Amino acid sequence: MNALWRKTPAPEELIEQAALRRQIYRVQATCFLDPPDEELLAFLGENYPHLLDGEENTVTEEGLKALRVDFTNLFLLSSPPYEAALMDESGHLNSKATDRVTDFYRATGFNPGLGSGGSRHSGLLAMDHISAELEFLSHLAGREEVAWQEGNRELAVQSLNHTAQFMDAHYLRWMPLLMVSSEEDAETGFYRALAKWTREFTLADRKHIDGILKAI
C-alpha cells in the first residue's frame, strides 16, 4: 500500500485498497481466534504463502498438533491476547479497559456479537480480544469500501477517521507489544510469521490512512 499519495487516488484505487485491508484484517482475526485447520492452511497457502514459508509439514497431523500446542502456549497460557490484560492496571478481563473498547464499537455501529462473522466471537471471555478488535478493523474497512463504491465520500472519510482513532486509542497501544513477545516465544514458523505480519501491516496501514486523508 502506498502511504504517500502524490495525487488524489482514483475511486477504483480507493475501493481496491479498502477491500484489501478488509480481507487482511479478517484473515488475521481468524488466525488469532483458533488454531488453524487444514482448510484454513490451504487458503493461507494459496493467498498468503509467506505465513507458511518453510512449513511444508504443517498440514500433517504432527504439524497441526504443533500449531495447536503453540497457539495454546502463546495465547491461552502465556499472554492472553486481550487489551485489558496488558493495558488495565488490574490486568483483569472485562475491566474498564474492556468497557472503553466496547463503547467505541457501539459508537460506530459495530456489534461484535452479530453479523459480519461477529457471532463467531461469542466464545471469547471479552470483546477486547485481538480477534474481535481485528474484526472491527475489517468492519470499518468494509464500510469504507462500500462508501467509495456508492460515492459517499463523507462516510468513507468517517470510516477512515474511526479506524485511525481506534488504532491510536486502543489497538496500537498494545498489539505491537504482544506481537513482539509472540514472535520471540513462538515455536512454529507460522506463528512467528503471523506475529510479524500483523504488527508490520497495521503500522504501515496507519501511515497509509494518514496518506489517504491528506490526499482526498
More confidently predicted of 22 and 109: 22
pLDDT, position 119 = 53
Out of 71-80, 84-93, 123-132, 153-162, give the one with best mean pLDDT. 153-162
pLDDT, position 33 = 93
| Mean pLDDT taken over the chain | 89
Quick one: CA dihedral 187, 189, 166, 146, positive or negative? negative
Distance CA 184, CA 191 (A): 10
pLDDT, position 213 = 93
Over 60: is that where the pLDDT of 3 sits?
A: no
**Percent of the chain residues topping a pLDDT of 70:** 87
Quick one: CA dihedral 179, 22, 48, 7, positive or negative? negative
Q: Which domain holds residue 176?
A: 11-215
24 three-class SS: helix
167-200 confidence digits (pLDDT tens): 999 999 999 999 999 999 999 999 999 999 999 9
Whether residue 1 is contained in a domain is answered as no
Complete DSSP assignment for 140-194: HHHHHHHHHHTT-HHHHHHHHHHHHHHIIIIIHHHHHHHHHHHHHH-SSHHHHHH
Question: Residue 2 — pLDDT band, cuts 50, 70, 90?
Answer: low
Whether residue 138 is contained in a domain is answered as yes
Whether residue 78 is contained in a domain is answered as yes
Quick one: cell of 123? 466464545
Q: What is the CA radius of gyration of the chain?
A: 17
Which strand (E) or helix (H) includes residue 25? helix 11-33
5 three-class SS: coil
The C-alpha torsion from 173 through 107 and 9 to 4, rounded to 10°, is -20
Q: What is this structure's pTM?
A: 0.91
More confidently predicted of 216 and 66: 66
Distance CA 127, CA 133 (A): 8
Q: Averaged over 9-17, what is the pLDDT?
A: 93
Over 50: is that where the pLDDT of 68 sits?
A: yes
- Give the number of domains in the chain: 1
Whether residue 5 is contained in a domain is answered as no
70-117 confidence digits (pLDDT tens): 999 999 988 889 999 888 766 667 678 899 999 999 999 888 764 444
pLDDT, position 56 = 60
CATH number of the domain within which 172 lies: 1.10.3480.10
pLDDT, position 113 = 60
pLDDT, position 53 = 79
